Structure formats: C-alpha cells, structure tokens
Homo-oligomer: A and B are copies of this chain.
C-alpha cells in the first residue's frame, strides 16, 4: 500500500511538477505527440496522399496507445481521481481519446489539439487576459449586444433592399445576416453583395457604423490588457 502511494506520488511529479526536469521533458514530448497526431490526422484528409494512409493510421494507433497509458497514469496518480476526470483538462483528455478507442466519432480526434491548452497555464499572460476580460465584462456585454442588434438591423435592412433584385442571393433574412457578418467584419468574400442603389447606400451607412462597433470593444480589451500588463511589470521592478 505504501509502495503504491509512493509510486502514485512519483508519477504525479513526473506528469505535473513544473519544476521537475523529467516532468518538463515528458510534457514536451506529449505536446509534440499531440502536434504529430494532429498533423497525422490532417494529412489523412489529403486525397493525393492516399498511398500514405496505412502508415498514417498505424502511427495514429501508436499515439493513441501512448495517450491512453498517459490518461490511465494521470487518473491513477491523481490524489482525487474523480475530480481529475471531471476537470476541464480531464474531460478534454477523455473526449479526445475514448471515442477513438471504440472507433467511433471519427472526427472528434481533431479536438485533440485542445489538449495543448495546458501550455497556457504557465503563461502569466493568461492571468492578465482573464483579469482584463473581467474588468471590461460589462462593457463587452454592452458592445456585443449592440453588435448583435446592428447585425440584425443590417441583415433585415439589406433584405428589404435586395430581396427582389437578387432573390437567389438574399433569399431569406438568414442569408442577409450572413452578408451582414461578412461585411461588418470587413471579410467581404464577394459571394453576396448589394447591387441596387438603395442597398449600396444602406450598406455604406451600416459599414461605417459597424467599423466603430467592432473596433471599440477590441481596443477596450487591448487597452485593459496593456494596462494590466504594465502594472504587472512595474510590480516586478
């Protein structure tokens, strides 16, 4: 019993102790494997590489076994196994490994990249960013609401102007909302755009209003984040 407790402690330090040199190497190796596994999955979607598929799939099985062993070790070594299993990172591990074992939900494997989120825990920026979001939470809510309202007004407005002229492009208000999204974010694919004079004038007004609505909140987060970052730096000096 004592031996198991010792082993558990040992494994835990190998997997989670950020000051342990062996732990660092192990975690880097795992992160590297995650990247390889994601790359492997991506390569399998290229039709021209179909000749490589058998090897890629074999490699995936190998990675899967390693991840399973890692998961079992993480559960075993944890002081509170249930707490780990239902933690954010525990659930991601479970969701991205378990289904592959049974050959189910083929596509969920790509979520495996979310396991890399672990890396962010070591960044002080994560804490700053969270603080910045909390600081401007109310303002962000305000601007998100305003942006949603503007999106809907834009979508409905352009529908009235363009529906008759282009019934196949602006079929319903939902198609018009897609136009509003592509326009107000200035992506502008060009799959859908106004052609009537009224629609163009309406679009002009909306896009100038919209630029502010999109820019102000990001500027707000950026400014809040920057000041959090500078305070942090001054505290250190």
Contact = CB atoms under 8 A, between A and B. Distances in A.
A150 to B, nearest CB: 10
Q: How many copies does the complex hold?
A: 4
A216 B225 contact: yes
B191 A191 contact: no
Interface in A87-145: 107, 110, 113-114, 116-117, 119-120, 123-126, 128-129, 135-136, 138-139, 141-143, 145
A153 interface: yes
Given A125-B138, A219-B222, A186 B185 contact: yes
Nearest to A110: B156
Contact of A45 (B125, B153, B172): B172
B212 A218 contact: yes
Interface string A179-209: 0011101111111010101001001100110
Contacts of A163: 45
A38 B226 CA distance: 39
Contacts of A30: none
Interface in A132-181: 135-136, 138-139, 141-143, 145-146, 149, 152-153, 156, 159-160, 163, 171-174, 178, 181
Contacts of A52: none
Contacts of A145: 116, 119-120
A39 to B, nearest CB: 10
A188 B187 CA distance: 5
Interface string A61-80: 00000000000000000000
Given A138-B124, A181-B204, A188-B187, A149 B211 contact: no
Interface of A: 38, 41-42, 45-47, 107, 110, 113-114, 116-117, 119-120, 123-126, 128-129, 135-136, 138-139, 141-143, 145-146, 149, 152-153, 156, 159-160, 163, 171-174, 178, 181-183, 185-191, 193, 195, 197, 200, 203-204, 207-208, 211-212, 214-216, 218-227, 229-230, 233
The 3 residue pairs across chains A and B that have the minimum distance between CB atoms: A219-B222, A190-B190, A187-B188
